[in-house]
Amino acid sequence: MDKLASKDGNMNNHFSNATNMKLLKISKLSMPLLTLALLWWVAPQANAALLVGNRNDNSVLRYDDETGKFIDTFIPSGSGGLNVTVGFAVGSDQNYYLSNFAGSSIERYNGKNGDFIDSFVPKNSGGLKLPQDLAFGPDGNLYVAGTVNGTTNAILRYDGKTGTFIDTFISSDEIDPAAPFSLTFGSDDNIYLNSAITGTIKRYDGKTGAFIDNFTQSKPGSIPGSLTFGPDGNLYVADFKTNDIARYNGKTGEFIDFFVTSNSGGLSGPVL
């Protein structure tokens, strides 16, 4: 992401070379963000673009990275059975992996043209139900936050090449009762998991899945959603309720500032 609206609405080059980062590019679009499932910026093989998941018709739209001008419908409505996507990841094959929330599966799409390839993780594989976020780990495998059999929360692990279920990497015993909304890997190769209800960001060993600590806590009264680490090594957390993006020290978890202030550029319901 070369430009991101911030306190002064014009921050340059803080997020360059962000091919595998899921970060908002705010105030580029005039459409109401409440109609969107999520925003993410990627650099496809051809040209950099802003991809927007459209919850209303289960499609993914593509916009010019610099001007915000609509380019095309990158993934057509309902392609591959897509039904409400709330998570996105880029694989080592440079294809796009989307969580199919209502379909309880993970769909794979061609990174060049958006064509549906396959259901990389088939419906209910490993007991997967209502998948939220997903991320490829340092080991190349795919980690998915969701519920197991619709009753308990967990992080499930799948083979990064085949999509085959491996195991329940983090069990419900180690996760807040509130559904895990977002996960990401830090530079320490550990998993950071956020609950939109409790606001706690927990850290887990990236090799064993063992709980390490409560890395940080979002401010009272907030409804924190997705999170990601920036190239500066700090942790960025989007807040649904206060419509801002908070920045925390990536080593200590200490609050730094509101990187994007409340409602900047018309921000509403941000998802990183």
pLDDT in tens, 62-95: 877 667 678 888 999 899 999 987 788 899 999 9
Q: What phi and psi, each to the nearest 5 degrees, are found at residue 193? A: -125, 130
Q: How far apart are CA 196 and CA 210, in angstroms?
A: 21
Q: How far apart are CA 234 and CA 251, in angstroms?
A: 8
Answer whether 210's CB lies under 8 Å from 193's CB.
Answer: no
Higher pLDDT, 208 or 231: 208
pLDDT reading at 172 higher than 70: yes
Note every long-range contact of 262-267, with CB atoms under 8 Å and residues 24 or more positions apart, other chains counting.
264/5, 264/6, 264/7, 264/9, 264/26, 264/27, 265/5, 265/9, 265/26, 265/27, 266/27, 266/33, 267/5, 267/24, 267/26, 267/27, 267/33, 267/243
* Termini Cα distance of the chain: 12
Instruction: Give the side-chain half-sphere CA count within 13 A for 78.
Output: 1
Mapping DSSP to helix (H, G, I), strand (E, B) and coil, where does residue 265 land? helix
Query: What is the torsional sign of CA 232, 43, 106, 78?
Result: positive
pLDDT band at 7 (very low <50, low <70, confident <90, very high): very low
